[in-house]
Amino acid sequence: MKIIELEEVGSTNEYCKAIDSCEDLCVFAKRQTAGKGTKGRSFISLDGGLYVSVMRHYDNFSAENAFKIMINGCVAVCKTLENFGIHPVIRWANDILVNGKKICGTLIENTFSSGKIIRSIVGIGINVKNEISSEIEQIATSMKEVLGKNLNLQEVKSAFISNLDCDFSIEDYKRYISWLGQSVTLKTEDEVRVVKAVDVTENGRLLVDWCGNMLEISAAEVSLRL
């Protein structure tokens, strides 16, 4: 896969979208001035973090298998953290936490045509040795903070690129969901429910037990608190 390394960009996801080519790309930026998070939020992207978008094109990738794209992105990040001795947990569907704080977020933007995914852009932001701004220090951490030592960003990038080449399974993904079987809180716009997390299905839905009723939840519907 071709690798592009930028000094500064608005958003690596937007950079990929603007490219009019079917070449698969991995675009890194040292910093982003308009980093995008999920649900229309912004993603602070200061120097020292790893900001990357992986753009892939497909001929025949059923939209039903969209979760596979998320699995490969999230597990590649988890393996990368493990390469540096860090033990992450995935907060379904696509946040990665260490010691209860977010260390990585992912923003996946797919393009569909006739029930198929023709292009995916997997945007990943890992807090490596960037400063964590005071507004989010209660909920976010970095590799540097967890390890208590400085890191070489290039080494983290190289590990990530190697892990990107692997094809991971749902079992690999579930290995990082250590909270299955426990009580979690699901929050929608109008209500908060405490449920027991039972499983993650092949298509990426969270199976929960709510007062004896089995419910399948989609990530778009709720936010999850562990």
**What is the strand order of the sheet 206-210 is part of?**
213-217, 206-210, 192-200, 183-187, 223-225
Q: In angstroms, rounded to a whole number, what is the distance separating the alpha carbons of residues 35 and 51?
A: 9
Site string for ligand BTN, 86-125 (x = CB under 6 A): -------------------xxx---------------xxx
Tell me the closest approach of the beta carbon of residue 15 to ligand BTN, in angstroms.
8
CB atoms within 10 A of CB 9: 22
CA angle 210, 197, 67 (to 5 degrees): 115
Backbone dihedral region of 33: left (phi > 0), alpha (psi from -120 to 50 degrees) or beta? alpha
Least separation in angstroms between residue 53's CB and ligand BTN is 5
Q: Minimum Å distance from CB 45 to ligand BTN?
A: 6
Q: Segment near ligand BTN (CB under 6 A), from 9-17, 58-66, 206-214, 217-225? A: 9-17
What's the min distance (Å) between Cβ of 110 and ligand BTN?
14
Instruction: Look at residues 44, 75, 143, 151 and name the one whose alpha carbon lies nearest to residue 103.
Output: 143
- Residues 89 and 177: their CA atoms lie apart, in Å, by 6
One character per residue 24-63, x = contact with ligand BTN (rule: CB under 6 A): --------x--xxxx--x-x-x-----xxx----------
Q: Closest distance between ligand BTN and the C-beta of residue 162, in Å?
A: 19
Residues near ligand BTN, by CB under 6 A: 11-13, 32, 35-38, 41, 43, 45, 51-53, 105-107, 123-125
